[in-house]
Copies of this chain bind each other. A is one copy, B any other.
Amino acid sequence: MGETPSTKVDLATLTPDLTTFLGKSAYLQLAVFENLSRVVRTAPSTEAKSALSQVAGLALIKHQGLVAEIERHGADAATTMQPFVSEIDRFQRVTEGNDWFESVTSCYLTAGFLDDFLVRLSTGLPGAAGDRIVAILEADSGEAVVVSELLAAIETNPSLGARLAMWGRRLVGDTMLLARWTLRPSDNHDSDEARIEPVFTELIAAHTRRMDALGLTA
């Protein structure tokens, strides 16, 4: 996932407490699963439907892993996620896209960005729980399957590519806002910004690589 030791160390001071981290990231993975299951339902072919169902399953595995981690600490999953539902639902609505291709692109780009971000942030979590959570978030999210579905459609329809390129650029802003929302609040904004900036530079580079994989200009 292209992490460097320096960004790991820096961002760790902005990692929220374990409960908040788990509540936000577990509900976010559930939202990713919901987006993917919607594109499964509306898939234009049986092949796309079956392929994307595998991708939905991978998001569900991440959600379930994080729920298991919440329960391991003696907490209730729904109660732990509840404070973060409305903000993540709002993010889901603004990024869900206007048609099937925009929705699939959103699943790919926003989940990719946020997984990368949460992995970096989870290095600031304590002990063995932190290690387990990194492993859950770093697990395969089926990007190769999504790229293959989108690439085939873009290659046969160049105007779709132009539209998805614009959509991909639009998604970055909302996704970065959600990433910031997961950080621990702090009083020293200047010092926070100095920590966050190099991480976002890396994550935007990863976003550009995801766009490149579709033949799109970020």
Contact = CB atoms under 8 A, between A and B. Distances in A.
Contact of A46 (B45, B53, B82): B82
A103 to B, nearest CB: 13
Count identical subunits in the complex: 2
What's the dominant secondary structure at chain A's contact region? Answer: helix
Given A34-B41, A37-B37, A41-B34, A78 B50 contact: yes
Given A34-B40, A37-B37, A81-B46, A57 B54 contact: no
A54 B65 CA distance: 11
A60 interface: yes
Interface of A: 26-27, 30, 33-34, 37-38, 40-41, 45-47, 49-50, 53-54, 56-57, 60-61, 63-64, 67, 77-78, 81-82, 85
Given A30-B40, A33-B37, A56-B60, 9 more contacts: A26-B50, A27-B46, A37-B40, A46-B81, A46-B85, A49-B78, A53-B60, A53-B63, A57-B57
- 10 tightest Cβ-Cβ pairs between the two chains A and B: A37-B37, A47-B78, A46-B78, A57-B60, A34-B41, A46-B82, A50-B77, A46-B81, A46-B85, A50-B78
